[in-house]
Chains A and B, each alone.
Chain A
Protein backbone atom coordinates (compact mmCIF):
# COMPACT_ATOMS: atom_id res chain seq x y z
CA UNK A 1 0.00 0.00 0.00
CA UNK A 2 1.34 3.35 -0.97
CA UNK A 3 1.35 5.92 1.81
CA UNK A 4 1.35 9.63 1.19
CA UNK A 5 1.68 12.29 3.82
CA UNK A 6 -0.76 15.12 3.58
CA UNK A 7 0.39 17.14 6.54
CA UNK A 8 3.63 18.05 8.26
CA UNK A 9 2.82 16.14 11.48
CA UNK A 10 2.72 12.86 9.55
CA UNK A 11 5.92 13.80 7.76
CA UNK A 12 7.68 14.58 11.05
CA UNK A 13 6.65 11.22 12.48
CA UNK A 14 7.92 9.52 9.34
CA UNK A 15 11.27 11.30 9.58
CA UNK A 16 11.65 10.15 13.19
CA UNK A 17 10.92 6.56 12.12
CA UNK A 18 13.35 6.87 9.25
CA UNK A 19 16.12 8.16 11.50
CA UNK A 20 15.53 5.28 13.89
CA UNK A 21 15.87 2.89 10.93
CA UNK A 22 19.09 4.58 9.77
CA UNK A 23 20.53 4.23 13.28
CA UNK A 24 19.51 0.56 13.36
CA UNK A 25 20.82 -0.56 9.96
CA UNK A 26 24.03 1.45 10.20
CA UNK A 27 24.58 0.25 13.75
CA UNK A 28 25.15 3.78 15.06
CA UNK A 29 25.44 2.69 18.67
CA UNK A 30 24.45 5.23 21.27
CA UNK A 31 22.76 7.62 18.83
CA UNK A 32 19.15 8.79 19.12
CA UNK A 33 16.94 10.02 16.25
CA UNK A 34 17.11 13.53 17.70
CA UNK A 35 20.92 13.51 17.33
CA UNK A 36 20.47 13.63 13.55
CA UNK A 37 19.55 17.03 12.20
CA UNK A 38 16.99 16.69 9.37
CA UNK A 39 18.80 19.19 7.16
CA UNK A 40 22.35 18.07 7.99
CA UNK A 41 24.34 16.19 5.29
CA UNK A 42 24.40 12.45 6.07
CA UNK A 43 27.71 11.93 4.28
CA UNK A 44 31.07 13.62 4.51
CA UNK A 45 31.20 16.47 6.97
CA UNK A 46 27.77 15.97 8.49
CA UNK A 47 27.12 12.63 10.12
CA UNK A 48 30.33 11.26 8.58
CA UNK A 49 28.93 8.30 6.67
CA UNK A 50 30.73 6.77 3.68
CA UNK A 51 30.20 4.66 0.55
CA UNK A 52 29.50 1.44 2.45
CA UNK A 53 26.82 3.16 4.53
CA UNK A 54 25.31 4.36 1.26
CA UNK A 55 25.09 0.73 0.11
CA UNK A 56 23.43 -0.24 3.39
CA UNK A 57 20.89 2.56 2.90
CA UNK A 58 20.22 1.30 -0.63
CA UNK A 59 19.35 -2.10 0.91
CA UNK A 60 17.11 -0.31 3.43
CA UNK A 61 15.26 1.51 0.65
CA UNK A 62 14.56 -1.73 -1.18
CA UNK A 63 13.63 -3.77 1.90
CA UNK A 64 11.38 -1.25 3.60
CA UNK A 65 9.95 0.77 0.74
CA UNK A 66 10.40 -1.33 -2.39
CA UNK A 67 12.58 1.33 -3.99
CA UNK A 68 15.40 -0.07 -6.09
CA UNK A 69 18.41 2.08 -6.96
CA UNK A 70 20.34 0.55 -9.83
CA UNK A 71 23.63 2.40 -9.44
CA UNK A 72 25.43 3.44 -6.26
CA UNK A 73 25.88 6.93 -7.74
CA UNK A 74 22.09 7.35 -7.67
CA UNK A 75 22.32 7.38 -3.89
CA UNK A 76 24.29 10.63 -3.84
CA UNK A 77 21.28 12.79 -4.64
CA UNK A 78 18.85 10.77 -2.54
CA UNK A 79 20.94 10.58 0.64
CA UNK A 80 21.78 14.28 0.88
CA UNK A 81 19.89 14.68 4.14
CA UNK A 82 16.99 13.20 6.07
CA UNK A 83 14.70 15.85 4.55
CA UNK A 84 15.68 14.92 1.00
CA UNK A 85 15.53 11.20 1.71
CA UNK A 86 12.10 11.38 3.38
CA UNK A 87 10.74 13.37 0.49
CA UNK A 88 12.20 10.95 -2.06
CA UNK A 89 10.75 7.92 -0.27
CA UNK A 90 7.31 9.55 0.03
CA UNK A 91 7.20 10.16 -3.69
CA UNK A 92 8.66 6.82 -4.84
CA UNK A 93 7.70 4.17 -2.34
CA UNK A 94 6.11 0.96 -3.64
CA UNK A 95 5.19 -0.36 -0.19
Chain B
Protein backbone atom coordinates (compact mmCIF):
# COMPACT_ATOMS: atom_id res chain seq x y z
CA UNK B 1 0.00 0.00 0.00
CA UNK B 2 1.24 3.46 -0.87
CA UNK B 3 2.15 5.54 2.14
CA UNK B 4 2.02 4.49 5.78
CA UNK B 5 1.57 0.79 6.42
CA UNK B 6 -1.44 0.12 8.64
CA UNK B 7 -1.42 -2.93 10.84
CA UNK B 8 -3.84 -4.51 13.29
CA UNK B 9 -2.75 -4.98 16.88
CA UNK B 10 -6.02 -5.81 18.59
CA UNK B 11 -9.47 -7.20 17.88
CA UNK B 12 -12.66 -7.61 19.87
CA UNK B 13 -15.98 -9.19 19.00
CA UNK B 14 -19.35 -10.02 20.47
CA UNK B 15 -22.22 -11.53 18.51
CA UNK B 16 -24.83 -14.26 18.57
CA UNK B 17 -22.05 -16.87 18.38
CA UNK B 18 -20.22 -15.72 21.46
CA UNK B 19 -18.40 -13.24 23.61
CA UNK B 20 -14.87 -12.69 22.42
CA UNK B 21 -12.65 -14.17 19.74
CA UNK B 22 -12.21 -17.56 21.41
CA UNK B 23 -15.94 -18.38 21.55
CA UNK B 24 -16.43 -16.96 18.06
CA UNK B 25 -13.69 -19.12 16.62
CA UNK B 26 -15.09 -22.26 18.26
CA UNK B 27 -18.57 -21.63 16.88
CA UNK B 28 -17.21 -20.97 13.39
CA UNK B 29 -15.08 -24.12 13.41
CA UNK B 30 -17.90 -26.24 14.77
CA UNK B 31 -20.46 -24.82 12.35
CA UNK B 32 -22.65 -23.66 15.25
CA UNK B 33 -25.07 -20.87 14.28
CA UNK B 34 -26.34 -18.30 16.77
CA UNK B 35 -29.64 -17.78 14.98
CA UNK B 36 -32.69 -18.64 17.07
CA UNK B 37 -36.17 -17.40 17.96
CA UNK B 38 -36.02 -13.92 19.50
CA UNK B 39 -35.70 -14.13 23.27
CA UNK B 40 -34.44 -10.80 24.59
CA UNK B 41 -36.10 -8.15 22.43
CA UNK B 42 -39.77 -7.65 23.24
CA UNK B 43 -41.59 -8.04 19.95
CA UNK B 44 -44.70 -9.68 18.56
CA UNK B 45 -42.47 -11.19 15.87
CA UNK B 46 -40.40 -13.22 18.38
CA UNK B 47 -41.22 -16.61 16.89
CA UNK B 48 -41.77 -15.38 13.37
CA UNK B 49 -38.32 -14.09 12.45
CA UNK B 50 -35.31 -16.05 13.69
CA UNK B 51 -32.51 -13.65 14.66
CA UNK B 52 -28.97 -13.60 15.93
CA UNK B 53 -29.28 -12.09 19.41
CA UNK B 54 -26.30 -11.76 21.74
CA UNK B 55 -27.15 -14.34 24.38
CA UNK B 56 -27.57 -12.05 27.38
CA UNK B 57 -30.16 -9.53 28.47
CA UNK B 58 -29.23 -5.88 28.89
CA UNK B 59 -29.04 -5.86 32.73
CA UNK B 60 -26.60 -8.77 32.67
CA UNK B 61 -24.48 -6.97 30.06
CA UNK B 62 -24.35 -4.01 32.44
CA UNK B 63 -23.35 -6.27 35.32
CA UNK B 64 -20.56 -7.75 33.23
CA UNK B 65 -19.14 -4.23 32.86
CA UNK B 66 -20.00 -2.98 36.33
CA UNK B 67 -22.24 -0.28 34.88
CA UNK B 68 -25.49 1.13 36.26
CA UNK B 69 -26.90 2.23 32.93
CA UNK B 70 -26.03 2.37 29.25
CA UNK B 71 -28.03 1.20 26.27
CA UNK B 72 -27.43 -2.09 24.52
CA UNK B 73 -25.54 -0.64 21.54
CA UNK B 74 -23.15 1.12 23.92
CA UNK B 75 -22.66 -1.96 26.11
CA UNK B 76 -21.94 -4.30 23.18
CA UNK B 77 -19.49 -1.73 21.81
CA UNK B 78 -17.66 -1.43 25.12
CA UNK B 79 -17.29 -5.22 25.39
CA UNK B 80 -15.66 -5.46 21.96
CA UNK B 81 -13.48 -2.37 22.45
CA UNK B 82 -12.30 -3.68 25.81
CA UNK B 83 -11.17 -6.97 24.29
CA UNK B 84 -9.43 -5.19 21.40
CA UNK B 85 -7.58 -2.69 23.62
CA UNK B 86 -6.52 -5.40 26.02
CA UNK B 87 -5.04 -7.48 23.22
CA UNK B 88 -3.23 -4.42 21.84
CA UNK B 89 -1.85 -3.66 25.32
CA UNK B 90 -3.33 -0.16 25.36
CA UNK B 91 -4.30 1.15 28.77
CA UNK B 92 -4.18 4.89 28.19
CA UNK B 93 -6.51 5.91 25.37
CA UNK B 94 -6.03 9.69 25.60
CA UNK B 95 -4.05 9.93 22.36
CA UNK B 96 -6.09 7.25 20.58
CA UNK B 97 -9.06 7.97 18.26
CA UNK B 98 -12.32 6.05 18.48
CA UNK B 99 -14.40 5.57 15.34
CA UNK B 100 -17.65 3.69 15.73
CA UNK B 101 -20.30 2.80 13.21
CA UNK B 102 -23.96 2.61 14.13
CA UNK B 103 -27.39 3.46 12.76
CA UNK B 104 -29.67 2.13 15.50
CA UNK B 105 -27.72 4.01 18.20
CA UNK B 106 -29.99 4.23 21.23
CA UNK B 107 -33.22 3.45 19.35
CA UNK B 108 -33.89 0.21 21.24
CA UNK B 109 -34.09 2.21 24.48
CA UNK B 110 -35.92 5.14 22.84
CA UNK B 111 -38.70 2.94 21.46
CA UNK B 112 -39.41 1.65 24.97
CA UNK B 113 -39.40 5.16 26.44
CA UNK B 114 -41.58 6.46 23.62
CA UNK B 115 -44.18 3.72 24.07
CA UNK B 116 -44.19 4.41 27.83
CA UNK B 117 -44.61 8.16 27.28
CA UNK B 118 -47.64 7.54 25.04
CA UNK B 119 -49.40 6.05 28.06
CA UNK B 120 -48.83 9.27 29.99
CA UNK B 121 -49.97 12.20 27.86
CA UNK B 122 -47.98 15.35 28.41
CA UNK B 123 -44.71 13.56 29.09
CA UNK B 124 -41.78 13.98 26.74
CA UNK B 125 -38.87 11.63 26.31
CA UNK B 126 -35.24 12.64 26.41
CA UNK B 127 -33.13 11.71 23.41
CA UNK B 128 -29.86 12.39 25.18
CA UNK B 129 -28.60 8.84 24.80
CA UNK B 130 -30.56 8.18 21.62
CA UNK B 131 -28.62 9.66 18.74
CA UNK B 132 -25.75 7.75 17.17
CA UNK B 133 -23.00 10.07 18.40
CA UNK B 134 -24.21 9.71 21.99
CA UNK B 135 -23.53 5.96 21.94
CA UNK B 136 -19.97 6.49 20.68
CA UNK B 137 -19.26 9.16 23.27
CA UNK B 138 -20.72 6.93 25.99
CA UNK B 139 -18.28 4.20 24.95
CA UNK B 140 -15.46 6.75 25.03
CA UNK B 141 -16.46 7.92 28.52
CA UNK B 142 -16.22 4.33 29.83
CA UNK B 143 -12.53 4.20 28.89
CA UNK B 144 -11.81 7.63 30.32
CA UNK B 145 -11.40 9.52 27.08
CA UNK B 146 -9.98 9.55 23.59
CA UNK B 147 -8.37 12.32 21.57
CA UNK B 148 -11.04 12.21 18.91
CA UNK B 149 -14.31 10.36 18.53
CA UNK B 150 -16.54 10.06 15.47
CA UNK B 151 -19.59 8.08 14.44
CA UNK B 152 -19.94 6.73 10.94
CA UNK B 153 -23.48 6.02 9.86
CA UNK B 154 -23.73 4.49 6.41
CA UNK B 155 -26.29 1.83 7.41
CA UNK B 156 -24.92 -1.70 6.89
CA UNK B 157 -21.42 -0.55 5.89
CA UNK B 158 -20.97 1.78 8.91
CA UNK B 159 -18.34 -0.30 10.74
CA UNK B 160 -16.46 -1.06 7.53
CA UNK B 161 -16.32 2.66 6.80
CA UNK B 162 -15.11 3.34 10.34
CA UNK B 163 -12.22 0.88 9.79
CA UNK B 164 -11.47 2.41 6.39
CA UNK B 165 -11.54 5.88 7.89
CA UNK B 166 -9.15 4.81 10.66
CA UNK B 167 -6.63 3.81 8.02
CA UNK B 168 -7.03 7.18 6.29
CA UNK B 169 -6.50 9.02 9.57
CA UNK B 170 -3.32 7.04 10.24
CA UNK B 171 -2.05 7.56 6.68
CA UNK B 172 -2.76 11.26 6.75
CA UNK B 173 -0.69 11.52 9.94
CA UNK B 174 -3.59 12.57 12.17
CA UNK B 175 -3.12 9.74 14.59
CA UNK B 176 -0.91 6.72 15.23
CA UNK B 177 -3.55 4.50 16.78
CA UNK B 178 -7.24 4.25 16.05
CA UNK B 179 -9.82 1.85 17.40
CA UNK B 180 -12.51 1.37 14.81
CA UNK B 181 -15.50 -0.84 14.16
CA UNK B 182 -19.16 -0.75 14.95
CA UNK B 183 -21.90 -1.73 17.33
CA UNK B 184 -25.58 -2.35 16.81
CA UNK B 185 -28.27 -3.95 18.91
CA UNK B 186 -31.51 -5.42 17.70
CA UNK B 187 -34.42 -3.00 17.93
CA UNK B 188 -38.12 -3.26 17.23
CA UNK B 189 -37.64 -0.24 14.98
CA UNK B 190 -35.33 -1.86 12.47
CA UNK B 191 -36.76 -5.36 12.83
CA UNK B 192 -40.09 -3.93 11.69
CA UNK B 193 -38.35 -1.69 9.19
CA UNK B 194 -36.71 -4.64 7.46
CA UNK B 195 -40.04 -6.44 7.66
CA UNK B 196 -41.73 -3.50 5.92
CA UNK B 197 -39.19 -3.95 3.12
CA UNK B 198 -40.23 -7.65 3.03
CA UNK B 199 -36.65 -8.90 3.15
CA UNK B 200 -36.72 -10.95 6.38
CA UNK B 201 -36.62 -14.73 6.06
CA UNK B 202 -38.94 -16.71 8.33
CA UNK B 203 -36.40 -19.56 8.19
CA UNK B 204 -32.67 -19.45 8.95
CA UNK B 205 -31.12 -17.45 6.13
CA UNK B 206 -29.46 -19.19 3.17
CA UNK B 207 -26.94 -16.82 1.58
CA UNK B 208 -26.15 -17.51 -2.09
CA UNK B 209 -28.66 -20.35 -2.21
CA UNK B 210 -31.12 -20.52 -5.10
CA UNK B 211 -33.93 -20.79 -2.55
CA UNK B 212 -32.79 -17.86 -0.38
CA UNK B 213 -35.68 -15.77 0.85
CA UNK B 214 -34.20 -12.90 2.83
CA UNK B 215 -32.04 -12.12 5.80
CA UNK B 216 -32.09 -12.76 9.53
CA UNK B 217 -31.15 -9.77 11.65
CA UNK B 218 -28.42 -10.03 14.22
CA UNK B 219 -26.66 -7.81 16.73
CA UNK B 220 -23.24 -7.33 18.21
CA UNK B 221 -20.04 -5.38 17.90
CA UNK B 222 -16.65 -5.80 16.31
CA UNK B 223 -13.65 -3.49 16.68
CA UNK B 224 -10.04 -3.49 15.48
CA UNK B 225 -7.09 -1.59 16.86
CA UNK B 226 -5.41 -0.10 13.79
CA UNK B 227 -1.97 1.33 14.09
CA UNK B 228 0.87 2.62 11.98
CA UNK B 229 3.55 -0.02 11.72
CA UNK B 230 6.06 2.44 13.16
CA UNK B 231 3.92 2.93 16.26
CA UNK B 232 3.34 -0.82 16.71
CA UNK B 233 7.06 -1.43 16.50
CA UNK B 234 7.81 1.38 18.92
CA UNK B 235 5.33 -0.08 21.42
CA UNK B 236 6.63 -3.61 20.73
CA UNK B 237 3.01 -4.63 20.11
CA UNK B 238 2.33 -7.96 18.46
CA UNK B 239 1.02 -7.44 14.92
CA UNK B 240 -1.99 -9.64 14.15
CA UNK B 241 -2.52 -8.61 10.55
CA UNK B 242 -2.38 -5.78 8.03
CA UNK B 243 -5.02 -3.64 6.40
CA UNK B 244 -3.35 -3.45 3.01
CA UNK B 245 -6.15 -1.91 1.03
CA UNK B 246 -9.68 -0.62 1.07
CA UNK B 247 -12.25 0.81 -1.25
CA UNK B 248 -15.36 2.93 -0.81
CA UNK B 249 -17.69 3.40 -3.77
CA UNK B 250 -21.29 4.34 -4.31
CA UNK B 251 -23.59 2.13 -6.32
CA UNK B 252 -25.62 5.29 -7.12
CA UNK B 253 -28.54 3.15 -8.26
CA UNK B 254 -31.41 3.09 -5.78
CA UNK B 255 -32.12 3.97 -2.13
CA UNK B 256 -32.59 0.33 -1.12
CA UNK B 257 -31.83 -1.93 -4.07
CA UNK B 258 -28.40 -2.92 -5.44
CA UNK B 259 -27.73 -2.57 -9.16
CA UNK B 260 -27.96 -5.74 -11.27
CA UNK B 261 -24.30 -5.38 -12.28
CA UNK B 262 -23.14 -4.70 -8.71
CA UNK B 263 -21.27 -1.59 -9.84
CA UNK B 264 -20.61 -0.17 -6.34
CA UNK B 265 -19.47 -3.53 -5.00
CA UNK B 266 -17.25 -4.09 -8.04
CA UNK B 267 -15.61 -0.68 -7.72
CA UNK B 268 -15.04 -1.03 -3.96
CA UNK B 269 -13.35 -4.43 -4.33
CA UNK B 270 -11.28 -3.26 -7.29
CA UNK B 271 -10.08 -0.18 -5.42
CA UNK B 272 -9.02 -2.31 -2.45
CA UNK B 273 -6.97 -4.55 -4.74
CA UNK B 274 -5.42 -1.60 -6.57
CA UNK B 275 -4.44 0.11 -3.34
CA UNK B 276 -2.73 -3.06 -2.12
CA UNK B 277 -1.06 -3.55 -5.50
CA UNK B 278 -2.53 -7.06 -5.68
CA UNK B 279 -4.28 -8.88 -8.50
CA UNK B 280 -7.54 -10.87 -8.20
CA UNK B 281 -5.47 -14.07 -8.26
CA UNK B 282 -3.78 -13.01 -4.99
CA UNK B 283 -7.03 -13.11 -3.00
CA UNK B 284 -7.41 -16.30 -0.99
CA UNK B 285 -10.85 -15.74 0.54
CA UNK B 286 -13.77 -13.31 0.32
CA UNK B 287 -16.05 -12.74 3.29
CA UNK B 288 -19.11 -11.65 1.34
CA UNK B 289 -21.74 -9.20 2.42
CA UNK B 290 -24.08 -12.10 1.52
CA UNK B 291 -27.21 -11.12 3.39
CA UNK B 292 -29.40 -13.81 1.90
CA UNK B 293 -31.77 -11.42 0.16
CA UNK B 294 -32.45 -12.28 -3.48
CA UNK B 295 -31.24 -8.82 -4.59
CA UNK B 296 -27.98 -8.51 -2.62
CA UNK B 297 -26.66 -11.98 -3.33
CA UNK B 298 -27.40 -11.73 -7.05
CA UNK B 299 -25.79 -8.30 -7.32
CA UNK B 300 -22.75 -9.27 -5.23
CA UNK B 301 -22.26 -12.50 -7.21
CA UNK B 302 -22.30 -10.50 -10.41
CA UNK B 303 -19.69 -8.07 -9.01
CA UNK B 304 -17.42 -10.92 -7.89
CA UNK B 305 -17.71 -12.67 -11.27
CA UNK B 306 -16.95 -9.41 -13.08
CA UNK B 307 -13.80 -8.83 -11.05
CA UNK B 308 -12.54 -12.39 -10.56
CA UNK B 309 -14.05 -14.29 -13.48
CA UNK B 310 -15.05 -17.94 -13.18
CA UNK B 311 -11.91 -18.70 -11.20
CA UNK B 312 -13.06 -16.73 -8.15
CA UNK B 313 -11.51 -17.38 -4.72
CA UNK B 314 -13.31 -19.24 -1.92
CA UNK B 315 -16.19 -17.05 -0.82
CA UNK B 316 -18.69 -17.30 2.02
CA UNK B 317 -21.16 -15.27 3.99
CA UNK B 318 -20.96 -15.74 7.76
CA UNK B 319 -24.37 -14.15 8.27
CA UNK B 320 -26.00 -17.57 8.67
CA UNK B 321 -23.90 -17.76 11.88
CA UNK B 322 -24.36 -14.26 13.29
CA UNK B 323 -27.38 -12.89 11.44
CA UNK B 324 -27.03 -9.60 9.62
CA UNK B 325 -25.60 -7.37 12.32
CA UNK B 326 -26.29 -4.33 10.08
CA UNK B 327 -24.02 -1.40 11.05
CA UNK B 328 -21.73 -3.70 13.09
CA UNK B 329 -21.34 -6.28 10.31
CA UNK B 330 -18.19 -4.77 8.80
CA UNK B 331 -16.50 -4.86 12.23
CA UNK B 332 -17.69 -8.33 13.17
CA UNK B 333 -16.76 -9.77 9.79
CA UNK B 334 -13.36 -8.03 9.74
CA UNK B 335 -12.58 -9.79 13.03
CA UNK B 336 -13.78 -13.09 11.51
CA UNK B 337 -11.44 -12.47 8.54
CA UNK B 338 -8.57 -11.84 10.93
CA UNK B 339 -9.32 -15.15 12.67
CA UNK B 340 -9.36 -16.91 9.29
CA UNK B 341 -5.93 -15.43 8.51
CA UNK B 342 -4.50 -16.35 11.90
CA UNK B 343 -5.99 -19.83 12.12
CA UNK B 344 -5.75 -20.63 8.40
CA UNK B 345 -9.31 -21.79 7.83
CA UNK B 346 -12.22 -20.81 5.61
CA UNK B 347 -15.43 -19.88 7.45
CA UNK B 348 -18.17 -21.94 5.85
CA UNK B 349 -21.38 -20.72 4.29
CA UNK B 350 -24.11 -22.49 6.29
CA UNK B 351 -27.43 -23.68 4.84
CA UNK B 352 -26.31 -23.72 1.24
CA UNK B 353 -27.76 -26.47 -0.92
CA UNK B 354 -28.35 -25.28 -4.47
CA UNK B 355 -26.53 -22.62 -6.49
CA UNK B 356 -28.54 -19.83 -8.03
CA UNK B 357 -28.52 -19.45 -11.77
CA UNK B 358 -25.20 -17.93 -12.78
CA UNK B 359 -24.31 -17.70 -9.11
CA UNK B 360 -21.41 -18.65 -6.89
CA UNK B 361 -20.55 -21.86 -5.07
CA UNK B 362 -19.75 -20.73 -1.54
CA UNK B 363 -17.32 -22.39 0.89
CA UNK B 364 -18.43 -25.75 2.26
CA UNK B 365 -15.05 -27.12 3.32
CA UNK B 366 -13.19 -25.22 6.04
CA UNK B 367 -9.81 -26.61 4.97
CA UNK B 368 -8.16 -24.16 2.56
CA UNK B 369 -6.43 -25.58 -0.51
CA UNK B 370 -3.68 -22.97 -0.29
CA UNK B 371 -2.41 -20.61 2.43
CA UNK B 372 -4.83 -17.84 3.39
CA UNK B 373 -2.75 -14.66 3.01
CA UNK B 374 -5.03 -11.98 1.59
CA UNK B 375 -8.77 -11.71 2.16
CA UNK B 376 -11.48 -9.27 1.16
CA UNK B 377 -14.22 -8.30 3.59
CA UNK B 378 -17.31 -6.80 1.95
CA UNK B 379 -19.93 -4.57 3.55
CA UNK B 380 -22.65 -3.01 1.41
CA UNK B 381 -25.52 -0.80 2.41
CA UNK B 382 -28.78 0.86 1.50
CA UNK B 383 -28.14 3.77 -0.76
CA UNK B 384 -25.28 1.84 -2.31
CA UNK B 385 -22.64 2.80 0.27
CA UNK B 386 -20.34 -0.08 -0.60
CA UNK B 387 -17.03 -0.77 1.12
CA UNK B 388 -14.45 -3.50 0.83
CA UNK B 389 -11.48 -4.07 3.16
CA UNK B 390 -8.38 -6.04 2.25
CA UNK B 391 -6.80 -7.78 5.23
CA UNK B 392 -3.62 -9.81 5.11
CA UNK B 393 -1.29 -11.75 7.35
CA UNK B 394 1.67 -9.98 5.76
CA UNK B 395 2.46 -6.48 4.52
CA UNK B 396 2.56 -5.85 0.75
B196 and A51: CB pair below 8 A? Answer: no
Within 8 A of B (CB), among A7-57: 50-52, 55
A66 at the interface (CB under 8 A from B): no
Q: A51-B256, A52-B255 are in contact. Are A71 and B198 (CB under 8 A)?
A: yes
A58 at the interface (CB under 8 A from B): yes
A78 at the interface (CB under 8 A from B): no
B254 at the interface (CB under 8 A from A): yes
A50 and B198: CB pair below 8 A? Answer: no
Task: Find the A residue at minimum CB distance from B202.
Answer: A70
B141 at the interface (CB under 8 A from A): no
**A interface residues, tally (CB under 8 Å):** 8
Within 8 A of A (CB), among B227-269: 254-257
Task: Find the B residue at minimum CB distance from A73.
Answer: B294
Contact with A along B181-196 (1 / 0, CB 8 A): 0000000000000001
- Chain B residues in 8 Å Cβ range of A71: 198
A55 and B196: CB pair below 8 A? Answer: yes
Contacts between the two chains (Cβ within 8 Å), count = 13
- Chain A residues in 8 Å Cβ range of B256: 51-52
- Chain A residues in 8 Å Cβ range of B197: 55
- Chain B residues in 8 Å Cβ range of A59: 196
**B interface residues, tally (CB under 8 Å):** 7
Within 8 A of B (CB), among A45-95: 50-52, 55, 58-59, 71-72
CA gap between A77 and B382 in the complex, in Å: 26
Task: Find the B residue at minimum CB distance from A50.
Answer: B254
Task: Give chain A nearest CB distance to B226 CB in angstroms.
Answer: 37
CA gap between A41 and B198 in the complex, in Å: 23
Task: Find the A residue at minimum CB distance from B198.
Answer: A72
CA gap between A51 and B253 in the complex, in Å: 13
Task: Find the A residue at minimum CB distance from B255.
Answer: A52
Within 8 A of A (CB), among B165-216: 196-198
- Chain B residues in 8 Å Cβ range of A55: 196-198
- Chain A residues in 8 Å Cβ range of B198: 55, 58, 71-72
Task: Give chain A nearest CB distance to B62 CB in angstroms.
Answer: 37
Task: Find the B residue at minimum CB distance from A56.
Answer: B196
- Chain B residues in 8 Å Cβ range of A51: 254, 256-257
CA gap between A21 and B257 in the complex, in Å: 25
CA gap between A55 and B198 in the complex, in Å: 8
Task: Find the B residue at minimum CB distance from A75.
Answer: B198
Task: Give chain A nearest CB distance to B193 CB in angstroms.
Answer: 11
CA gap between A72 and B196 in the complex, in Å: 10
CA gap between A29 and B67 in the complex, in Å: 50
Contact with A along B314-358 (1 / 0, CB 8 A): 000000000000000000000000000000000000000000000
Task: Give chain B nearest CB distance to A48 CB in angstroms.
Answer: 13
Best-buried of B197, B198, B254 by chain A (most CB within 10 Å): B198
CA gap between A71 and B255 in the complex, in Å: 20
CA gap between A72 and B256 in the complex, in Å: 14
Task: Give chain A nearest CB distance to B192 CB in angstroms.
Answer: 12
Task: Find the B residue at minimum CB distance from A52.
Answer: B256
CA gap between A50 and B198 in the complex, in Å: 15
- Chain B residues in 8 Å Cβ range of A58: 198
CA gap between A59 and B193 in the complex, in Å: 13
CA gap between A36 and B196 in the complex, in Å: 26
Task: Find the A residue at minimum CB distance from B199.
Answer: A72
- Chain A residues in 8 Å Cβ range of B196: 55, 59
- Chain B residues in 8 Å Cβ range of A72: 198
Within 8 A of A (CB), among B47-102: none
CA gap between A50 and B254 in the complex, in Å: 10
Task: Find the B residue at minimum CB distance from A54.
Answer: B198
CA gap between A80 and B302 in the complex, in Å: 28
- Chain A residues in 8 Å Cβ range of B257: 51
Task: Find the B residue at minimum CB distance from A58.
Answer: B198
Task: Find the A residue at minimum CB distance from B196.
Answer: A55
Report 13 cross-chain contacts, Cβ distance below 8 Å, ordered by A residue: A50-B254, A51-B254, A51-B256, A51-B257, A52-B255, A52-B256, A55-B196, A55-B197, A55-B198, A58-B198, A59-B196, A71-B198, A72-B198
Top 10 A-B pairs ranked by shortest CB distance? A72-B198, A51-B257, A55-B198, A52-B256, A55-B197, A55-B196, A52-B255, A71-B198, A50-B254, A51-B256
Given A52-B256, A55-B198, A58-B198, 4 other A-B residues pairs in contact with their CB atoms under 8 A: A50-B254, A52-B255, A55-B197, A72-B198
